[in-house]
């Protein structure tokens, strides 16, 4: 497998449900935050800013393996707890790509997910093909044996 993109995400009080766990719907927000960091910061660091210009979600798939508690002795007045999200590109097609994720609560895998993304021309309001530069960037995070 190529390098994974690793993102440490601070949990927010608003992420919680009535039971003190991270709400199931907020997992998508956490995954989004990591994905945006990959495409905006990571892409621009590679000299590829076009993924930040327009990508839409075609599909999400999330598996919840265990609850993520907000505190568990980790939250202090000085620091909120964090989760670690590792993501990589699982598949690249001509006009879409799939990002896979793992969310860790400490060293424990709490959730896995996949998102199918489509590059999108916001001005024309139409999907577009992945450019050669985008493909090269995405391949740097591609899983070994995945479709590229």
Both structure tokens of 91: 């598949």
Provide the residue range defining the domain that includes 84: 5-147
| CATH assignment of the domain containing 82 | 3.10.129.10
Identify the three-state secondary structure at position 130: coil
Q: Domain count for the chain, please give it.
A: 1
Residue position matching structure tokens 């006009």: 95
pTM of the full structure = 0.88
If pLDDT is split at 50, 70 and 90, which confidence band does 72 have?
A: low
* pLDDT (tens digit per residue) in 24-68: 999 999 999 999 999 888 887 788 878 878 899 999 999 999 999
Pairing of strands 126-127, 82-92: unpaired
Chain segment 90-135, per-residue pLDDT in tens? 999 999 999 999 999 989 999 999 999 999 998 899 999 999 999 9
End-to-end CA distance of the chain: 13
């Amino acid at each position: 497998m190529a390098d994974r993109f690793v993102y440490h995400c601070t949990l927010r009080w608003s992420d919680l449900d009535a039971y003190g766990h991270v709400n199931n719907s907020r997992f998508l927000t956490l995954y989004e935050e990591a994905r945006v960091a990959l495409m905006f910061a990571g892409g621009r660091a590679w000299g590829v800013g076009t993924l930040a210009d327009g990508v839409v979600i075609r599909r999400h798939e999330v598996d919840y393996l265990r609850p993520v508690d907000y505190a568990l002795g980790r939250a202090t007045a000085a620091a909120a707890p964090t989760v670690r999200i590792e993501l990589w590109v699982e598949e690249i097609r001509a006009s879409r790509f799939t990002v896979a994720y793992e969310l860790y609560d400490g060293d424990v895998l709490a959730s896995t997910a996949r998102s199918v993304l489509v590059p999108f021309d916001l001005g024309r309001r139409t999907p577009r093909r992945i450019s050669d530069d985008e493909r090269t960037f995405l391949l740097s995070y591609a899983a070994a044996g995945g479709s590229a």
